[in-house]
Chain A
Amino acid sequence: MQILEEISMELQKGDAANVGLLTQKAIDQELNPGIILDDGLVAGMNIIGNKFKAREIFLPNVLLAAKAMQAGIDILKPLLIKEDIACRGRIVTGTVQGDLHDIGRNLVGIMLKGAGFEVIDLGNDVEPSRFVEAAVENNASVIGMSALLTTTMPVMKKVIDTLKQRNLYGNIRIIIGGAPVSSSYAEEIGADAACFDGASAVESVKELLGVK
C-alpha cells in the first residue's frame, strides 16, 4: 500500500508534520488502524532501530523519528482504543533509582504503546518498591526497567528480589534494557529478557504474554 510506505519514509526522515498528515489521510482512506500502525509507523521505526543498531544513523535521527511516530500514534489512538487494539496488556516502565536517563525508556514506551500495550511510565529514579506497587495496583503483567549507568544496574536485582519476597515473581514478568545490560546479566539477576531497542522490547513482551 503506497501510503503506508510513505508514512514509513516520512517517519524515517523524522518529519512529524507529514507523518501526522499521512496518518490522517490513511484513516480517511478507511485503512485499518492496526495496519496503519504496524505497516506504516512501526515498520518505519523498526528500520530506524536497525539502522541505529548498525550505527548507520545516530541518536538525533532516532529521536526525530520517535517524535514523528508519536505524532502518528496521537492521531491513531482513539481508533485503536475503539478497535480494542490498545489493550494487549499492561506494562509498568521506569528508569531505576539513581538513574536519570530516559531516552531509551521513552523510545521503548512509544514502541510498546504503538504495538497496542498500555504503558504506565513511572519516570526516572524509580525506587524498587514503587515498581512493584505500581505493577500490583495497575494489574500489570510486565515490569520494564531501564538503566544506563553501570552503577545503577544493580538496582534491577533489588526489584526482582522485592517481587520474590512478595511471591509475585513469575506472575509479573521482567524485561530490562539500557546500554550496559546484556542477556547474561538478565539471566544472572533473574529477569525474563534483556532488550536492546524498542523493537526487541515489543518482541519480548509479546512472547512473554503469548500475544501475537
Chain B
Amino acid sequence: MKGLLQRLKEGEVLLGDGAMGTMLIERGLESGHCPERINLDNPGMLEEIAGLYIDAGADIVQTNTFGASALKLADYGLDDRTEQINKAAVEAAKKAAGRAAGRVYVSGSCGPCAKMLEPYGDAGAEEVQASFERQMSALVHAGVDMICIETMMDIQEAAIAVKTARSISREITVAATMTFELTRHGFVTIMGTGIEEAAEGLIDAGADIIGSNCGNGIQNMIKIAAGFREITGMPLLIQSNAGLPELNNGALVYAETPGFMAGKSRMLMDLGVNIIGGCCGTNPEHIKELRKTLDAYMRS
C-alpha cells in the first residue's frame, strides 16, 4: 500500500473515521467502565465499528486505545496489561481494514495520560515518557500505519508523546493534534497553548502531521484550521465534534447533522486540510456524507 504521507504529498485529501466512544456507549459500554477493557473482552465489537466506518468510506480507522497509556490504565488497575490491550485493538482494526484490500490505514490513537506535568502537577517527564513508550511500542509492533496523538492540552506532554513515537520508529507516521477553546485571546488550550505555539512545538518535536481535534464543532474548526494555515504548510489533520454536547431529557445530543458537517467541510478542503475526520458525536452517517463531499471536491 502506498504510504500515507506520500498520498498527502500528492495532493490527496484522506478521510478519517468518526467517534469511538459514542459508538461504544451505543453498544452498551457503561459509564464507569474502562473503554479499553473491551479490547480484551470483546474485540469483535471493535472490528464491527471499524468495519462500519470503512463501509462509510473512511481511509483511516483509529484503534480503541485513546486511554491505553500505562498511566491512564493504572487508574483501572490494568496497567500490567498495557501491551495486550493495545495489541488487541490494533488486531481488531486490522481485521476490518484487511477486508478493504489495502485501501485503509490503521491509526493508533494516543490520548493524554491524564496526569499533570511538573511543576504545576506531580508527574515527572520520565514517568510520562515511559507510559507513552509502553503504549506506542505495542501499537507500532502490532503494525499500525500511524500514531495519532490527540486531544492534547499541554504542549509539553504533546511534545513528549511525539518524541517518544519518533524514538520508537523513524518510519512511522506521527500525527499530533490539540484541543482548543475560543477565548478572548483567540483559540487556546486550557493549559494556555495557542495555535502558533502548538504548531511550532509539535513540528519541533518531530510530528509529520499536526492539527486539532475535539472541543469544537465544525465552524470553529474551520477557524482553527485557518489559524494553522497562516503559519504552516505542514500536513494538517482536523477532527471536529458534531457540535458541543447538549442535554435533552437527560440524554446527550450533538446537534450537527451529517449534512451540515459535510457542507461546511468544503471550507476545510479549500484551506488545504489534508485529513478530515470526526470526533465526539460523529458516526458512520457523518463519514458517509463527508465521503460524498470529498469525492465531489476531488473531482472538481
Contact = CB atoms under 8 A, between A and B. Distances in A.
B190 A58 contact: yes
A55 B188 contact: yes
B153 to A, nearest CB: 8
Given A151-B31, A152-B31, A188-B247, A58 B75 contact: no
A63 B32 contact: no
Interface string B67-81: 000001001000000
Given A59-B190, A60-B192, A154-B250, A125 B32 contact: yes
B191 A151 contact: no
Nearest to A57: B192
Contacts of A149: 31
Interface string B175-191: 00000010111001111
A150 B252 contact: yes
A64 interface: yes
Contacts of A150: 245, 252
A110 to B, nearest CB: 14
A125 B188 contact: no
Nearest to A54: B184
A182 to B, nearest CB: 8
Interface stretch (A18-26, A36-44, A93-101): A93-101
B114 interface: yes
Nearest to A56: B184
Nearest to B24: A151
Given A151-B21, A155-B31, A155-B32, A59 B245 contact: no
A100 B114 contact: yes
B25 interface: yes
B32 A103 contact: no
Interface in A27-76: 54-61, 63-64, 67
B11 interface: no
Given A150-B245, A157-B250, A55 B75 contact: no
Nearest to A52: B190
Contact of A101 (B33, B114, B121, B192): B114
B119 interface: yes
Interface in B114-134: 114, 116, 119-121
A97 B32 contact: yes
Contact of B116 (A56, A63, A125): A63
A68 to B, nearest CB: 11
Contacts of A14: 120
A124 interface: yes
Contact of A59 (B30, B192, B252): B192
A97 B34 CA distance: 11
Nearest to A103: B116
A170 interface: no
Nearest to B280: A150
A98 B31 contact: yes
Interface string B270-285: 0000000000000000
A154 B183 CA distance: 28
Interface of B: 21, 25, 30-33, 72, 75, 114, 116, 119-121, 153, 181, 183-185, 188-192, 245, 247, 250, 252
Interface of A: 14, 54-61, 63-64, 67, 97-101, 103, 124-125, 127, 149-155, 157, 180, 184-185, 188-189
5 contacts: A63-B121, A98-B32, A101-B114, A150-B252, A155-B31
